[in-house]
Amino acid sequence: MSEDREFYTFRGYTIRQFEQELTPSMEDYLEMIFRLSQDEGYTRINELAAALNVQPSSASKMVQKLTGADYLKYEKYSIIKLTEKGRKVGSFLLQRHNTIESFLQVIGVTRGILEDTEKIEHNISNHTLECIATLVDFFQQNPQVREMLKKHRQNKKSP
């Protein structure tokens, strides 16, 4: 091969990238807690469970884990608040989600955007995310180029 690169299986890349304390599921919970608490500064287990389509008991277990890792402040049967650490990570996770979702819209994805966003966001490096954010910003600043891409896509579909 012409480049000096190390190849791994998908699992190998995942292990190398996520040698950190948050699992994808924990990230989903933190992102949603951040979303739900933006207006009032807190959320509740039932709101969280409903938003993520999980049982309240499952949400409660995850909230306890995140509390133990200093992302949340929570007392049983009370409100859920983000710590400063949790707010910082939650904000990043929501921004990452929105960037990927915007990218998929820009490139013309019309079905399954939420599902694809969820699958991609846990497996993307910060460098690639920054590059995607720059591309999305470029298309937002240059609607004529976005229109050119749309026309190009339509021409590719035509026989």
Q: Which domains does the chain have, with CATH numbers?
A: 10-85 (1.10.10.10), 89-157 (1.10.60.10)
Structure-token match 């949400």, residue found:
59
Other C-beta atoms lying within 10 Å of the C-beta of residue 81: 17
Say if CB 67 and CB 74 are below 8 A apart: yes
Confidence (pLDDT) at 17: 45
Contact residues for 42 (Cβ-Cβ < 8 A; gap 6+): 79, 80, 81
What number of other Cβ atoms are within 10 A of residue 28's Cβ?
19
pLDDT along the chain (159 residues), means of 10: 61 50 93 96 96 96 96 91 96 97 94 94 93 96 93 79
Check residue 137 and give its pLDDT: 96
